[in-house]
Structure 1
Amino acid sequence: MKQLHELTIKEVHDGYLNQDFTCVELVRHFQNRIEKYNPKLNIYLALNDNALTEAEAIDKEIAEKGITRPLLGIPFAVKDNFLTKGIVTTASSNIIRDYHPQYDSTV
């Protein structure tokens, strides 16, 4: 059996619908991997502090309505030069190391 981080989007959605795991469990899985590997790899500069709260809301939405959007409940990473509302965005520059955008980039 695949580990959670190896699943495709379809497999994640199927897992939610079959109640094999929840969005909260998936987010925790990725948080644990980040905690384990990021000190050595230094990939992530900032994380969404609200990820578990958002995952809980997604679990509730899926339970009530099913999968209503193509990327619902799919964790993703955003390159540090895209503005992410409320999450420090530095573009790897010390000049703006504490910048917290008030809006998301249009991509």
Structure 2
Amino acid sequence: MPEAPEARQPVTAQPVVTPIRVVIGLCLFAPFVAMLWVGSYAKVDPAFIGIPFFYWYQMLWVLVSTALTMTAYQLWQRDQRARRATSASASAATKDGGASA
């Protein structure tokens, strides 16, 4: 009776929630919290060059949101490169291990 072919061991996946992904989530979540908490900025004072706080605070968050989104994107790219490198080295190790056995 022929034996069944040896099943390959699956490459162990990295955890889905990593510290870098938590930072990415916080970078993307912070502007929502800041803008949805209207009570924190629904006031006139302190004015900045004659512009009430309500308006300049929101305009400031446009710039802050841009910076946070750009940071999150760069962190995501770094995370994806690291995951690809790890999976490529793991698959190469699996292939080498299978060939020498």
- TM-score (normalised: structure 1): 0.28
- TM-score (normalised: structure 2): 0.29
Q: Give 1 or 2 for the bigger CA radius of gyration.
A: 2
